[in-house]
């Protein structure tokens, strides 16, 4: 089957067609031709008023609910939601029940996505589930296809981090840390600030993040190994990483779309759908994160997607589960909240080349003869998430049935195509 993507603006800065309107002919899973205009009578046409095309998006942080929490989402739900949202690859957290801690668990995830549009890039845990002082079967997981190792939202001691960095160094394993000193968090569920004092909710100070981040940077420096920090959320974290990069240290980081678009102000209404981790912080933190994306301090933007069922959210704020459906809104939130600050080519780079570089994956170039791994999106198409198009079992979002602007309309990957 052949397809022509008609007059789409190609967004890929290193591409000679960058920012140009082109036709792309795709046949049998490969890009056959790119030109200003293509004539092909037997091809299905993909058209729109404001079409764009980029290499397939990669989500650096997706909460995994299968196995163990299938009532929130199954693997099929997670894969279908990623496709609907524009992602051809997703990096999944290992925080399942049981945890992703051995080669069988990694193989299970990879095999689950074999015949799907979306590739699962699994991470394995750092810590042995049976012993907090020991490493999990990291090399076995690496050999089975784990792209990195992380404890997700769970704290990793500096001692175990040192062990993990040195152990994975010979095979270039990637360690991902979500920096947080739990002893400084005090079980807080919102950002520590004068605004949040009025809510009476337990507060989590910024220092819990950046103290942990600073210590872990020093451990990585001592080990002479790279480290990736996930979901940084504070001004100080951006500043520390910026200086570390300037000094030549091997460090990368990502930020959640939630912390780029929303602030603690949203929590004054006690909407459980804004209870996320890390917590939403101040407007000055948000602007520092945006600047970090613009100047390259922050390498990638992740969804921090976390499906939760009704029972997990329909309780008092303190007791509600953290997390929200965010992946579906990655592009529409960019359009609504970030276009004035972040140029579209930088935003798309943070979903494509940025994650590829972090994970040491081959960067996908849109060129003739290449396999088609593409995300097609319409800058101004209006839509809403509702029961008819929701591919998740969960609906934990403040955006339910609200009009959005900017939508993914198609994907090509693994010799498969999906049009929306």
Walk along the chain (420 residues) and give the pLDDT tens digit of each residue: 999 999 999 999 999 999 999 999 999 999 999 999 999 989 999 999 999 999 999 999 999 999 999 999 999 999 999 999 999 999 999 999 999 999 999 999 999 999 899 999 999 999 999 998 999 999 999 999 999 999 999 999 999 999 999 999 999 999 999 999 999 999 999 999 999 999 999 999 999 999 999 999 999 999 999 999 999 999 999 999 999 999 999 999 999 999 999 999 999 999 999 999 999 999 999 999 999 999 999 999 999 999 999 999 999 999 999 999 999 999 999 999 999 999 999 999 999 999 999 999 998 999 999 999 999 999 999 999 999 999 999 999 999 999 999 999 999 999 999 999
In this structure, the answer to whether residues 129 and 248 fall within a common structural domain is yes
In this structure, the answer to whether residues 171 and 39 fall within a common structural domain is no
In this structure, the answer to whether residues 373 and 403 fall within a common structural domain is yes
In this structure, the answer to whether residues 275 and 407 fall within a common structural domain is no
324, 358, 392 — which closes off a domain? Answer: 358
In this structure, the answer to whether residues 70 and 48 fall within a common structural domain is no
Number of domains present in the structure of the chain:
2
Tell me the C-alpha distance between 200 and 318, whole Å. Answer: 10
310, 326, 358 — which closes off a domain? Answer: 358
In this structure, the answer to whether residues 25 and 89 fall within a common structural domain is no
Domain that holds residue 386: 2-53+367-419
CATH of the domain at 20: 2.30.40.10
In this structure, the answer to whether residues 40 and 64 fall within a common structural domain is no
In this structure, the answer to whether residues 152 and 297 fall within a common structural domain is yes
319, 340, 358 — which closes off a domain? Answer: 358
In this structure, the answer to whether residues 349 and 381 fall within a common structural domain is no
In this structure, the answer to whether residues 76 and 189 fall within a common structural domain is yes
CATH of the domain at 322: 3.20.20.140
In this structure, the answer to whether residues 216 and 300 fall within a common structural domain is yes
Tell me the C-alpha distance between 252 and 357, whole Å. Answer: 9
Q: What is the pTM of this model?
A: 0.98
In this structure, the answer to whether residues 324 and 242 fall within a common structural domain is yes
């Amino acid at each position: 089957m052949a397809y022509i993507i008609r007059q789409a603006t190609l967004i890929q800065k290193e591409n000679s067609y960058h920012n140009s309107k082109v036709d792309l002919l795709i046949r049998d899973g490969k890009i056959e031709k790119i030109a200003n205009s293509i004539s092909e009578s037997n091809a299905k046409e993909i058209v729109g008023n404001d079409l764009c095309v980029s290499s397939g998006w990669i989500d650096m942080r997706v909460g995994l609910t299968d196995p163990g929490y299938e009532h929130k989402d199954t693997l099929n739900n997670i894969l279908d939601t990623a496709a609907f949202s524009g992602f051809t690859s997703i990096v999944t957290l290992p925080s399942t029940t049981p945890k992703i801690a051995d080669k069988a668990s990694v193989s299970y995830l990879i095999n689950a996505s074999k015949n799907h549009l979306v590739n699962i890039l699994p991470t394995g845990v750092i810590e042995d589930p049976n012993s907090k002082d020991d490493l999990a079967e990291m090399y076995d997981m690496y050999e089975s296809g784990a792209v990195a190792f992380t404890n997700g939202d769970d704290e990793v001691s500096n001692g175990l981090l040192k062990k993990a960095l040195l152990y994975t160094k010979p095979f270039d394993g990637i360690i991902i840390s979500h920096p947080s000193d739990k002893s400084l968090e005090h079980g807080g569920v919102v950002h520590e600030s004068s605004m949040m004092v009025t809510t009476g909710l337990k507060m989590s100070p910024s220092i819990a993040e950046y103290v942990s981040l600073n210590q872990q940077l020093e451990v990585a420096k001592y080990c002479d190994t790279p480290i990736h920090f996930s979901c940084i959320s504070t001004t100080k974290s951006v500043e520390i990483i910026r200086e570390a990069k300037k000094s030549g240290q091997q460090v990368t980081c990502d930020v959640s779309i939630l912390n780029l678009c929303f602030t603690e102000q949203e929590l004054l209404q006690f909407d459980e759908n804004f209870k996320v981790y890390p917590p939403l912080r101040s407007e000055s933190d948000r602007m520092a994160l945006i600047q970090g994306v613009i100047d390259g301090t922050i390498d990638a933007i992740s969804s921090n997607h976390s499906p939760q069922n009704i029972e997990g959210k329909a309780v008092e704020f303190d007791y509600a589960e953290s997390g929200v459906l965010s992946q579906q809104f990655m592009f529409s939130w960019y359009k609504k909240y970030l276009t004035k600050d972040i140029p579209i080519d930088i935003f798309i780079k943070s979903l494509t080349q940025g994650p590829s570089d972090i994970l040491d994956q081959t960067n996908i170039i849109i060129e003739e003869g290449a396999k088609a791994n593409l995300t097609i999106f319409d800058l101004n198409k209006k839509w809403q998430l509702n029961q008819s198009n929701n591919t998740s079992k969960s609906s934990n979002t403040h955006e339910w049935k609200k009009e959005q602007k900017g939508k993914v309309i198609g994907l090509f990957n693994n010799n498969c195509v999906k049009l929306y």
